[in-house]
């Protein structure tokens, strides 16, 4: 199949260079049938390529038919508004020719999915459609999603077709349940990542509450502007989940996660993306996923993504990896990323008919493979010293295969990470102590952590923020819907404030807002000349007009408990797939890469041999 794609690309190049239009005479007659001139042209090109004439003629006829179909489709679209979509089916169902589907563009994504399922024999709820490198949104029209005439659509299958399993009812049911589980996994992934991203800035006890954090290349946490933090964390979270599916070779499930990661990365500023290598690695993972799905031709911008990855690596690592060498002292581990980059560039060039460029990139990948190959006996020796196989591979690549140096490198890295973790724990401990200090002064936990966040952890600055922003004082830790269901303030506390000189009505309103906290009520009244500020007055009115009890309280508690369990499950599923080792994305056995390099080099060598004979 790969060799056929190469011939198709090469013949397309020849036709373009010779300015030959196969859909016009003398290659296509007035009835749109093949003309006699095509055979002569096939003979010419087969001699040039040293290929079988019949094979070349067959491929050229496919190119001609596609051109005629496209021309017919263009005319049909202009007159009727009915667009043609090229549908790329999963590898197990894919035919030699493209699968064309006609549709109006005003229909919804759900209607298109239904049409594809009916036309090609899928069960509607168990497929996903990717168009323009994005998941098809079911509730929006095709036009709203930028779908145009002659666009390419890729079908991702969550289960095999019913036809393949109808012989066994039990197997069919298992497949159906499996598909439902996969869909639930995707939804749980989304919810779990959102929860962890939301927790990141507001977590109180990091030892008890899991959340997502962002670290630099040394392993230290870094501060990200709040406006971009959530988008970046969601992007990185989806990327990690997608990589987990890639490791399990579940490419159909991995791709939607990777595309979602790409969407969120695009919400981050360019300056931020230039400082981390995550975005570059994501581009490689997306192209790799398309390739492993056998749908590389469906990714129109594979070349663009690979160039973007290369440029991101240059900005992040510096020219000739100088910045990386300054930070880490070596670049052996990161070379794995360049091996995959060169391999994918070689594959893309081969599929585009560029044999020489393909050989150049594939040869670079082969040289890097030889350099990065880890001797199993050396890995075993390091494991005998108590290191993991992953640490052994990464250490050997960082130290050019020297076992002794690798052992020292791994031990030093462990010490560095332990020290960093200790410092991070101390920092979080101080934050918790500061929160408790502010709570002891009468402020709620929410108010304390919000003030500390604004003050970058400085306790004195947080106190100033609270004193100058009394609207923070009434933030409490209960659920929003229960904030207003407070009982009336006690007369004793109202009398205390009246004794201090405050008006009884203002005292009662302040105590209602601050839930009987005399200290905060008094501070607020002093700060505002004996009155509540307008926004707190509104809060007091709302709470006084709200019933103190609700018949749905018990049902609400049960529902909240169920939701909390579901959220915990979603979070735990995310955490299971986040690797413990910070350089997990650099670790690879390179077994797949070794096979693919050899396969494509053999294709290119065959081309070079044919060229020499010619």
pLDDT in tens, 546-558: 444 443 444 444 4
Examine the fold and report which residue of 54, 80, 106 is the final residue of a domain before the chain moves on.
Answer: 80
- DSSP E strand boundaries for 145-212: 152-157
Specify the pLDDT at position 549.
42
Quick check: is 522 in a domain?
yes
Examine the fold and report which residue of 103, 132, 159 is the final residue of a domain before the chain moves on.
Answer: 159
Domain limits at 50? 1-80
Residues 66 and 28 in one domain: yes
Residues 72 and 107 in one domain: no
Residues 450 and 529 in one domain: yes
pLDDT-above-70 percentage for the chain: 76
Examine the pLDDT at 595 and tell me if it is beyond 90.
yes
Where residue 123 falls among pLDDT bands split at 50, 70, 90? confident
Examine the pLDDT at 487 and tell me if it is beyond 70.
no
pLDDT-above-90 percentage for the chain: 29
Residues 26 and 71 in one domain: yes
Quick check: is 1 in a domain?
yes
Where residue 208 falls among pLDDT bands split at 50, 70, 90? very low
Q: Is the distance from CB of 522 to CB of 442 less than 8 angstroms?
A: no
Examine the pLDDT at 501 and tell me if it is beyond 70.
yes
Q: Could you give the CA distance from residue 255 to residue 243 in angstroms, rounded to a whole number?
A: 9
The pLDDT tens digits of the residues spanning 104-114 come to 999 999 999 99
The pLDDT tens digits of the residues spanning 33-59 come to 988 899 999 899 888 888 888 988 999
Quick check: is 381 in a domain?
no
Per-range mean pLDDT, top range of 230-234, 372-376, 565-569 = 372-376
Residues 73 and 108 in one domain: no
Specify the pLDDT at position 162.
44
Q: Is the distance from CB of 362 to CB of 336 less than 8 angstroms?
A: no
Examine the fold and report which residue of 80, 106, 126 is the final residue of a domain before the chain moves on.
Answer: 80
Count of structural domains within the chain: 3
Q: Could you give the CA distance from residue 558 to residue 564 in angstroms, rounded to a whole number?
A: 10
Quick check: is 33 in a domain?
yes
Q: What is the pTM of this model?
A: 0.73
Specify the pLDDT at position 216.
59
Quick check: is 261 in a domain?
no
Residues 31 and 108 in one domain: no
Three-class SS of 149-162: CCCEEEEEECCCCH
Residues 63 and 92 in one domain: no
Quick check: is 96 in a domain?
yes
Query: How much is the mean pLDDT over the chain?
Result: 80
Q: Choose between 172 and 511: higher pLDDT.
A: 511
Residues 89 and 21 in one domain: no
Quick check: is 531 in a domain?
yes
The pLDDT tens digits of the residues spanning 558-584 come to 444 455 666 666 666 666 667 777 788
Residues 72 and 88 in one domain: no
Quick check: is 506 in a domain?
yes
Residues 458 and 493 in one domain: yes
Q: Which residues contact 37 (CB under 8 A, 6 or more apart)?
A: 26, 27
Residues 57 and 86 in one domain: no
Residues 67 and 40 in one domain: yes
Q: Is the distance from CB of 596 to CB of 287 less than 8 angstroms?
A: no
Examine the pLDDT at 166 and tell me if it is beyond 70.
no
C-alpha count within 13 angstroms, C-beta hemisphere, residue 395: 27
Specify the pLDDT at position 113.
94
Where residue 168 falls among pLDDT bands split at 50, 70, 90? very low
């Amino acid at each position: 199949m790969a060799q056929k794609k190469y011939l198709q690309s090469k013949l397309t190049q020849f036709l373009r260079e010779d300015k030959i239009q196969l859909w016009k005479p003398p290659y296509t007659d007035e009835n749109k049938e093949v003309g006699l001139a095509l055979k002569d042209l096939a003979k010419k090109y087969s001699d040039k390529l040293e290929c079988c004439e019949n094979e070349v003629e067959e491929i050229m006829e496919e190119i001609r038919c596609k051109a005629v179909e496209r021309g017919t489709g263009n005319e049909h679209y202009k007159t009727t508004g009915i667009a043609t979509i090229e549908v790329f089916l999963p590898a197990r169902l894919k035919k030699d020719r493209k699968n064309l589907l006609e549709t109006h563009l005003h229909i919804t994504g759900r209607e298109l999915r239904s049409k594809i399922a009916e036309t090609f024999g899928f069960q509607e709820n168990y497929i996903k459609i990717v168009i323009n490198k994005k998941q098809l949104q079911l509730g929006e029209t095709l036009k709203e999603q930028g779908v145009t005439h002659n666009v390419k659509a890729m079908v991702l299958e969550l289960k095999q077709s019913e036809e393949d399993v109808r012989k066994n009812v039990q197997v069919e049911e298992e497949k159906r349940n499996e598909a439902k589980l996969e869909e639930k996994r995707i939804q749980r992934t989304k919810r779990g990542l959102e929860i962890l991203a939301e927790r990141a800035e507001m977590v109180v006890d990091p030892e008890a509450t899991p959340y997502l954090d962002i670290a630099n290349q040394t392993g230290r946490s870094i501060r990200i502007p709040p406006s971009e933090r959530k988008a970046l964390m969601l992007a990185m979270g989806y990327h990690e989940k997608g990589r987990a599916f890639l490791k399990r070779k579940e490419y159909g499930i991995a791709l939607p996660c990777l595309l979602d990661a790409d969407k969120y990365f695009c919400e981050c500023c360019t300056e931020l993306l230039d400082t981390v290598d995550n975005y570059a690695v994501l581009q490689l993972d997306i192209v790799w996923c398309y390739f492993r799905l056998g749908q590389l031709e469906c990714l129109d911008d594979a070349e663009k993504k690979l160039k973007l990855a290369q440029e991101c690596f240059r900005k992040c690592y510096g020219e000739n990896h100088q910045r990386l060498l300054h930070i880490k002292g070596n670049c052996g581990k990161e070379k794995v990323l360049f091996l995959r980059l060169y391999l994918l560039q070689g594959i893309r060039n081969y599929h585009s008919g560029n044999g020489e460029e393909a050989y150049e990139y594939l040869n670079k990948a082969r040289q890097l493979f030889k350099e990065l190959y880890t001797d199993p006996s050396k890995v075993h020796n390091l494991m005998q010293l108590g290191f993991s196989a992953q640490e052994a591979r990464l250490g050997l690549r960082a130290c050019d295969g020297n076992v002794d140096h690798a052992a020292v490198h791994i031990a030093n890295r462990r010490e560095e990470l332990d020290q960093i973790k200790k410092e991070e724990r101390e920092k979080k401990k101080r934050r918790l102590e500061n929160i408790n200090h502010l709570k002891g002064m009468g402020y709620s936990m929410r108010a304390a952590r919000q003030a500390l966040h604004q003050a970058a952890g400085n306790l004195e600055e947080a106190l100033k923020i609270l004193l100058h922003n009394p609207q923070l004082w009434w933030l409490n830790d209960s659920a929003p819907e229960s904030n207003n269901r407070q009982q009336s303030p006690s007369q004793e506390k109202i009398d205390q404030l009246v004794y201090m000189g405050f008006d009884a009505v203002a005292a009662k309103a302040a105590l209602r807002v601050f839930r009987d906290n005399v200290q905060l009520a008094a501070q607020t009244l002093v700060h505002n000349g004996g009155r509540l500020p307008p926004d707190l007055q509104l809060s007091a009115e709302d709470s006084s007009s709200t019933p103190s009890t609700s018949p749905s309280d018990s049902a609400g508690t049960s529902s909240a408990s169920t939701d909390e369990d579901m959220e915990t499950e979603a979070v735990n599923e995310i955490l299971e797939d986040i690797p413990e080792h910070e350089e997990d994305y650099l670790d690879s056995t390179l077994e797949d890469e070794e096979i693919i390099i050899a396969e494509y080099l053999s294709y290119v060598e065959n081309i070079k041999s044919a060229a020499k004979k010619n």
